[in-house]
A and B are shown apart, each in its own frame.
Chain A
Amino acid sequence: MDFSVMFQQLCKGSLVTMQLFIIVLPLSLILGILVMLGARCSIKPIRWFFEFYIYILRGTPLLLQMLILFYGLYYIPGIGPHLVITSRSFACTLAFTLNYAAYFAEIFRGGLLAVDPGQYEASKVLGLSKSQMYLHVVFPQMFRVALPSTANETITLVKDTSLIFALGIEELLQNATNIVNSQATFVPYIFAAIFYLVLTTIPSVIFKKLEKKFDF
């Protein structure tokens, strides 16, 4: 096989990987904040729901969640057939977003616990409303504490994208495997490793910059 063809295949695969990453990261970060707030809600049923959500999504493999979302919804009695997801890439995006939101929720919860109670009291005596307090005082400090773990999780997300081969989507690692099998050469795996390294280096550099910037 021509080297440039191999390279093209791997590039195509890494595009799929990047696409998934770029969509899932912002969605799961936003959803993660909402889940975290839900899991701290003073209304008990809402809190229980989100605590249960985190429990399930963190306690089962992402691969399994993907398979259930794509193949399993049909078997839910009654409403199942209406829920079926026909697009493989949509099922993957949804599963990744739901799963990573649970992890991010836990990371943010930890960040929130690190914010000194005195910050809430100072905000209150200055007359800030609840939303002003969270937006201007609590969240910036929470994100600062959560940054290193968020960086970690983001890098994991890049690598986890290889799981979508299970739904038959051709991503970077799957394309490399295909070439390895058909051409009887190990080289594509080494290239795949380099591709992954490049893809994970970008977020880690950005997060390092952010950590420096928010070093208060």
Chain B
Amino acid sequence: MMSVLKAKNLKKSFGDLCVLRDISFEVEKGEVVAVIGPSGGGKSTLLRSLIDLEKIDGGSIWIDGDPLVENGIYCKPAKIAAATAKTGMVFQHFNLFPHLTVRKNLELAPKLVKKQDFKITTDDCTLYLNKVGLSEKADSYPRELSGGQKQRVAIARALMMHPDILLFDEPTSALDPELTVEVLDTMKQLARDSMTMIVVTHEMSFAREVANKVIFMDQGVILEEGPPEQIFFNPTQPRTKEFLNSILKGQ
């Protein structure tokens, strides 16, 4: 199998604070990877570095074989753009464009960046709004939507660029508990469609049910990774056990 994303020896510090120490992992096509671990463990920083929202200090990232950064040296802007164009991202706080309708939120980037044919863009828009179950909201503004609906629009917006891999940064953390289900269901649907995903999450049930691989991160290192059965039912690291106990007690 070919790996869609490969990260090797990633290092990153904010001043004296080391947030990523020597992180390496691979994601294969169609895989759903859940990244779990305590807050401040570097999960979000890792995810954000994969789409060039954070610059790493050392290490390499390849997306579909194309380098974003090699041995800590970033590629030329055009190459970075080419690599990150294969990656989509869904944020904790949705980051929809508030001045545009749902339809225009979806169509903005394909029109501007891909200069895509108008017909294809509108067809895509209908297709993906259908997929997230929000066809009837095409002409609404983001402020008229619930949090769960906003996040589903954000997912549809990311899909419009046909990414090979989709990154989720705590996609349900800003939602009321009763609204997380609809977003998680949408993500499960994507997983069934063989979308490659990396999901930073606190939703252990999602990680357990949907992920093919779970990565447990703490203090800037991957302490443990493996299939969910192993991480959740047979963790080898005491730190993993401790974390799972504390979080499962809470849920």
Q: Kindly list chain A residues whose C-beta atoms are within 8 Å of the C-beta of B52.
A: 124
Does B98 contact A141, Cβ atoms closer than 8 Å? yes
Asked if A121 is at the interface of the complex by the 8 Å CB criterion, the answer is yes
Q: Kindly list chain A residues whose C-beta atoms are within 8 Å of the C-beta of B99.
A: 140-141, 144, 214, 216
Asked if B206 is at the interface of the complex by the 8 Å CB criterion, the answer is no
> Total contacts A to B, CB within 8 angstroms?
58
Q: Kindly list chain B residues whose C-beta atoms are within 8 Å of the C-beta of A122.
A: 91, 95-97
Would you give the 0/1 interface string for B138-158, flagging 1 where the beta carbon is closer than 8 Å to chain A?
000111000000000000011
Asked if A8 is at the interface of the complex by the 8 Å CB criterion, the answer is no
Report, as a range, how many residues of chain A touch the other chain: 10 to 19
Asked if A127 is at the interface of the complex by the 8 Å CB criterion, the answer is yes
Asked if B113 is at the interface of the complex by the 8 Å CB criterion, the answer is yes
Asked if A152 is at the interface of the complex by the 8 Å CB criterion, the answer is no
A121 (CB) vs chain B CBs: closest residue: B53
Asked if B228 is at the interface of the complex by the 8 Å CB criterion, the answer is no
Within 27-41 of A, Cβ neighbours of B (below 8 Å) are at none
Contact of A118 among B84, B93, B113, B142 (CB under 8 A): B93
Contact of B97 among A129, A132, A137 (CB under 8 A): A137
Whether A127 contacts B95 in the complex (CB less than 8 A), given A216-B141, A216-B143, comes out as no
Does B98 contact A127, Cβ atoms closer than 8 Å? no
Query: In the docked arrangement, what's the CA distance between A157 and B89, Å?
Result: 45
Q: Kindly list chain B residues whose C-beta atoms are within 8 Å of the C-beta of A116.
A: 93, 95
Asked if B108 is at the interface of the complex by the 8 Å CB criterion, the answer is yes
Asked if B247 is at the interface of the complex by the 8 Å CB criterion, the answer is no
Q: Kindly list chain B residues whose C-beta atoms are within 8 Å of the C-beta of A126.
A: 108-109, 113, 157-158, 161
Q: Kindly list chain B residues whose C-beta atoms are within 8 Å of the C-beta of A129.
A: 113
Partner-A contacts on B (CB < 8 A): 51-53, 81, 84-85, 87-89, 91, 93-99, 108-109, 112-113, 141-143, 157-158, 161
Partner-B contacts on A (CB < 8 A): 116, 118-119, 121-122, 124-129, 132, 136-137, 140-141, 144, 214, 216
20 further contact pairs, Cβ within 8 A, besides A124-B53, A127-B113, A214-B99: A116-B93, A118-B93, A118-B94, A121-B89, A122-B96, A125-B51, A125-B53, A125-B84, A125-B87, A125-B89, A125-B158, A126-B108, A127-B85, A128-B108, A128-B109, A128-B112, A136-B112, A137-B108, A140-B99, A216-B98
